[in-house]
């Protein structure tokens, strides 16, 4: 739109503005975030900007997706910097709702995407994807986007949101975009801020290990357990500081383990490193590594 960025915290007002845009035939894109914006978010915004007439970014640290003992209280926040970055990225509406408005007393409705939500990260973060599916469904209802853009680093989240939108007949196109990486390969994430300098250096191995597995697959190894064991072994040797939560090779759509591993299967890993929980993935196929 290019008329300067509006910051809206009222749910009613945000919904009214977005409905007007949608009603006027303009194409509306949403990038949902939890703030502490980095270049990964910015690349989603740039893509969304290019493919729409009006760009809305939501900024909300959603308590419902954090489990007891997780990092809700210390999740990094910097509203002033986020406002600047969003302004520069050409955001038209920055939606900054309050938890009390989104989850008022008596709040009782939850969105559960069965099956997909209990795999992989779901096993280690019970209730997490219920919280994610619920808030994203609420954002879709509030902001009525034609398209919504998510990073592929959170591949499971993307698959779950796509299924949710399909199952609930929400008229939104869910778009996944490639992960942005630091020079040494570490996937960009707000949670990287938790890493000590030593941990940060070691963290590059999360992706280096995944790349190695991809090479092994492209060189002819197709046994899932063999490849998973090689990745575990790589992490044991190169990332002794980390505790591996899981390594898996799955079908990229169903998230079920694939045996034998096929081109287009997805290798995924989750590790705890110091105070950070790091996740990453790689598609096992020729071509550009995202």
Active site residues: 41
Q: How far apart are CA 50 and CA 46, in angstroms?
A: 6
Q: What does the DSSP assignment read for 68-96?
A: TTSSTTTS---HHHHHHHHHHTT-SEEE-
CB 56 within 8 A of CB 28: yes
Please report how close the Cβ of residue 128 comes to ligand PAF at its closest, in angstroms: 9
Nearer to ligand PAF, 118 or 238 (CB): 118
CB closer to ligand PAF out of 133 and 230: 133
Cβ at position 101, least distance to ligand PAF in Å = 15
Asked whether the beta carbons of 188 and 180 are under 8 A apart, the reply is: yes
Which residues contact ligand PAF by CB under 6 A? 32-34, 62, 65, 132, 135-136, 154, 157
- In the complex, least distance from residue 222 CB atom to ligand PAF, rounded to whole angstroms: 32
Q: Helices H, strands E: what count in the chain? A: 10, 9
H/E run at residue 227: helix 224-238
In the complex with ligand PAF, the residue whose CB is nearer, 32 or 176, is 32
Nearer to ligand PAF, 100 or 286 (CB): 100
Report residue 16: phi and psi, to 5°: -65, -50
72 vs 241, which CB is nearer to ligand PAF? 72
CB of 166 to ligand PAF, least distance (A): 17
Least distance to ligand PAF from the beta carbon of 154, Å?
5
Distances (CA, A) of 278 to 44, 83, 87, 123, 141: 20, 26, 29, 15, 30
Q: Which of 263, 265, 259, 264 is nearest to 224 (CA)?
A: 259
DSSP string, 201-224: HHTHHHHHHHHHHHHHHHTT---H
């Amino acid at each position: 739109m290019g008329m300067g960025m509006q910051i809206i915290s009222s749910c009613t007002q945000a919904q009214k503005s977005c409905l007007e845009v949608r009603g006027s035939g303009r194409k509306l894109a949403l990038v949902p975030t939890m703030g502490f914006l980095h270049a990964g978010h910015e690349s989603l915004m740039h893509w969304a900007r290019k493919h729409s007439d009006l760009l809305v970014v939501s900024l909300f640290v959603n308590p419902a997706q954090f489990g007891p003992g997780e990092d809700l209280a210390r999740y990094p926040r910097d509203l002033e910097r986020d406002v600047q970055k969003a302004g520069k990225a050409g955001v038209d509406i920055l939606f900054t709702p309050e938890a009390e408005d989104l989850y008022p007393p008596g709040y009782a409705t939850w969105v559960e995407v069965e099956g997909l939500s209990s795999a992989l990260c779901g096993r280690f973060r019970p209730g997490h994807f219920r919280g994610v599916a619920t808030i994203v469904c609420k954002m879709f209802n509030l902001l009525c986007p034609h398209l919504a853009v998510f990073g592929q680093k959170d591949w499971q989240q993307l698959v779950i949101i796509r299924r949710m939108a399909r199952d609930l007949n929400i008229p939104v196109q869910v778009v996944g975009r490639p992960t942005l990486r630091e020079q040494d390969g570490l996937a960009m994430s707000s949670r990287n801020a938790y890493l000590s300098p030593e941990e940060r250096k070691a963290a590059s191995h999360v992706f280096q290990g995944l790349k190695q597995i991809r090479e092994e697959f492209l060189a002819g190894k197709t046994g899932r357990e063999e490849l998973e064991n090689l990745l575990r072994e790589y992490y044991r040797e190169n990332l002794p500081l980390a505790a591996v939560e899981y390594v898996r090779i799955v079908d990229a759509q169903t998230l079920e383990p694939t045996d034998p591993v096929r081109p287009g299967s997805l290798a995924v890993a989750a590790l705890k490193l110091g105070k950070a929980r790091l996740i990453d993935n790689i598609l096992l196929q020729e071509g550009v590594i995202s």
